[in-house]
A and B are shown apart, each in its own frame.
Chain A
Amino acid sequence: MTTKILELNELKREFRMGSEVVRALKGVSFDIFSGEFVTIMGSSGSGKTTLLNILGCLDKPTSGNYLVDGVDISGLSRNELASLRNQKIGFVFQSYNLLARTSARENVELPLLYNPAVSSKERKQKAIRALESVKLAERLDHLPNQLSGGQQQRVAIARALVNEPVMILADEATGNLDSRTSYEIMSLMQELNQQQGKTIVFVTHEPDIAAFSSRTITLKDGKVIKDSKNENIRSAKDMLAALPVTEDY
């Protein structure tokens, strides 16, 4: 439980907007250890998205160090970053980003197609296993438009899991879902975190969601203003059970 997965050291990110320099991150430092479920909170303009892009190795900091699993990304090329994303990071997006007209299994296989080490037989097996772990074993051949929003997001989570990354990076993953489905997804996230020991970094602006995580980092104006362990973790499963059985009317 003590392996350091992410290490951020005085991370700064500046953008040049014409003649103006926008400083999105003004020195962010924290470490994330394996098995943690971290939510990163912050209102818009806090530098949340910029931080997410850097955490996801889609962007590089202007200064400071960012180490993923011991690798400093500042010296890496575009291609090396792509490999790093492929091997170490599993993305889950707000809008699912599944390929249309492509079955759930093929969507989940996608990251493995960019990993030459995986044979086509292994690929199929891993995809099925990942879909089983998000409880979609019966929906392997369904197309995204035949799945509900929650199911689509579970396919996306399976896709994030399939390459066995060191970290799942979720970007407002419940933002498009109603509260019942959000709880379902959070319950799945908690299960992955607690039972399978997956490290999860969840970027959100809903304080409600943060209650399910073990640690919350709050950003404001490009700086960490609060970094606290959550002593009283709520169980999404219990929340789900507590909801009224039918909301139909």
Chain B
Amino acid sequence: MNIPNLIRIAIRALQRNKLRAFLTMLGIIIGVAAVIAMVAIGQGSKKSIQDQLSSMGSNMITIRANSNATVGGGARLESAALQTLTLDDIRAIEKQANYINAISPAVQSRGQAINGALNWPTSMQGVAPDYLEIRDWKVKQGVAFSDEDVTGAAKVCLVGQTIVDNLFTPGDDPIGKIIRYNKIPIKIIGVLGEKGENAFGSDQDDVILAPYTTVQKRIMAITYIQNIYASAIDENSTEKATAEISQILRTSHKLTESQEDDFSVRTQAELINTFSSTSELLTVLLTAIAGISLIIGGIGIMNIMYVSVTERTKEIGLRMSIGAKGIDILMQFLIEAILISITGGIIGVLLGIGATKLITSLLSWPTLVSESSILLSFAVCAITGVFFGYYPAQKASRLDPIEALRYE
């Protein structure tokens, strides 16, 4: 057996029947292109959801007072109305937690913002300066408020673009202007970078950020806090951070073993997982359909190779009579099948990438061509060639030279 010669023989045999070779390839080409394009669409949508969710701060951990803990007569209360979270909790977490690098209390208030003749219903978040880091929000104009502003409950705020659009005429510089929020005058010291809508469709730019002390004392007149936002040191430690926070809060709330948490700790990761698994399922379904077409392509190869063996019986007889061994014939047909499937695979990969690009540019769907899908479909292709080429090749190699030569 001489592999280079056998490859030469197989290539010559395919060249003698170019159209048939191409038509056989077509099944594989379409199968591979479909796998690549489908996986690209699936992965693309998964990635775009992930990106969107991580833009909300992928390390972010949200701690809320838990309404499962009943207060007084057994009525459950809205979490914002519970008063179990305190600044002491934050201090405890800050002091004890190892996996947290930023933490901020939060209090929300809804109200009307007014600037001269213009007004706009919005909400004001009272937070600490760390909040911007936790959410990964940027100040695009002006400056953020400082720890001193928090200590002094300064009447300063950062506004989102929606607020600027609704309270100021175009071209008007909002920095340094004093607006009134629920009749309290408050100075704009910065404008937040635009973030658009979040994954749930709510406008992330429709917000006013102020020091939490300001909101607590001057606007809402409360002393407790509603939520705590924190960020884990990296994406992988969110789980550890969550466990750590739960432990610290249980201790600081003096809960006994049998008592349920009177708070809840949520991470973005959970949200990402939910969405990811949805699009993962989509990817699996699309890939399965594409994979079936690849198998059909493989059966096409088997079919053609089988016909080809019958049709070329005389050729096989001749080859055997001039000295081809069974293994030479087997390898020739196997190599033919593999060449068809690999060439088809290469064309399919190129076509798949092309189709993916086309989908992105025409339909502007997010797509992501992954190397693994290319490698996988290519490997499947080669295996298909061997698997579906083997049986006809074996049939050819077992022919009796005398009968094959006499075959008409």
A residues with CB within 8 A of B: 53, 56, 58-59, 78-79, 82-83, 85-87, 91, 93, 97, 99-102, 106, 110-111, 113-116, 159, 163
Looking at the complex, which one of B1, B9, B319, B321 makes contact with A58 (CB distance below 8 Å)? B321
Contact indicator per residue, chain B 1-18, by CB within 8 Å of chain A (1) or not (0):
110010011001001110
B residues with CB within 8 A of A: 1-2, 5, 8-9, 12, 15-17, 314-315, 317-328, 401-402, 405
Pick the 3 closest A-B CB pairs, nearest first.
Answer: A86-B323, A116-B2, A101-B16
Q: Are B405 and A114 in contact (CB under 8 A)?
A: no
Q: Are B323 and A111 in contact (CB under 8 A)?
A: yes
Q: Please report the C-alpha to C-alpha distance between residue A192 and residue B5 in the assembled complex, in whole angstroms.
A: 29
Q: Are A100 and B402 in contact (CB under 8 A)?
A: no
Looking at the complex, which one of B5, B321, B326, B327 makes contact with A116 (CB distance below 8 Å)? B5
Q: Please report the C-alpha to C-alpha distance between residue A153 and residue B16 in the assembled complex, in whole angstroms.
A: 21
Q: Please report the C-alpha to C-alpha distance between residue A167 and residue B292 in the assembled complex, in whole angstroms.
A: 54
With contacts A99-B16, A101-B16, A113-B8 taken as known, whether A85 is within 8 angstroms of B402 at the C-beta atoms is: no
Q: Are A82 and B405 in contact (CB under 8 A)?
A: no
Q: Are B16 and A102 in contact (CB under 8 A)?
A: yes
Q: Which residues from B are CB-within-8-Å of A93?
A: 318, 405
Q: Are A85 and B405 in contact (CB under 8 A)?
A: no
Looking at the complex, which one of B9, B402, B405 makes contact with A97 (CB distance below 8 Å)? B405
Q: Please report the C-alpha to C-alpha distance between residue A111 and residue B318 in the assembled complex, in whole angstroms.
A: 10
Q: Are B322 and A114 in contact (CB under 8 A)?
A: yes
Q: Are B16 and A86 in contact (CB under 8 A)?
A: no
Q: Which residues from A are CB-within-8-Å of B315?
A: 99
Known A82-B325, A97-B314, A159-B322; 17 more pairs at CB < 8 Å: A58-B320, A58-B405, A82-B326, A82-B328, A83-B325, A85-B321, A97-B317, A99-B16, A100-B16, A101-B15, A110-B319, A110-B322, A113-B2, A113-B8, A114-B323, A116-B2, A163-B323
Q: Are B326 and A79 in contact (CB under 8 A)?
A: yes
Q: Which residues from A are CB-within-8-Å of B326?
A: 78-79, 82
Give the Cβ gap from B358 to chain A, nearest Cβ, in Å. Answer: 37
Q: Which residue of B lies closest to A117 (CB)?
A: B2
Q: Which residues from B are CB-within-8-Å of A100?
A: 16
Q: Which residue of A lies closest to B312 (CB)?
A: A99
With contacts A53-B402, A58-B402 taken as known, whether A78 is within 8 angstroms of B325 at the C-beta atoms is: yes
Q: Are A114 and B324 in contact (CB under 8 A)?
A: yes
Q: Please report the C-alpha to C-alpha distance between residue A111 and residue B324 in the assembled complex, in whole angstroms.
A: 8
Q: Which residues from A are CB-within-8-Å of B317?
A: 97
Q: Which residues from B are CB-within-8-Å of A106?
A: 12
Q: Please report the C-alpha to C-alpha distance between residue A115 and residue B9 in the assembled complex, in whole angstroms.
A: 13
Q: Are B401 and A91 in contact (CB under 8 A)?
A: no
Q: Please report the C-alpha to C-alpha distance between residue A78 and residue B328 in the assembled complex, in whole angstroms.
A: 12
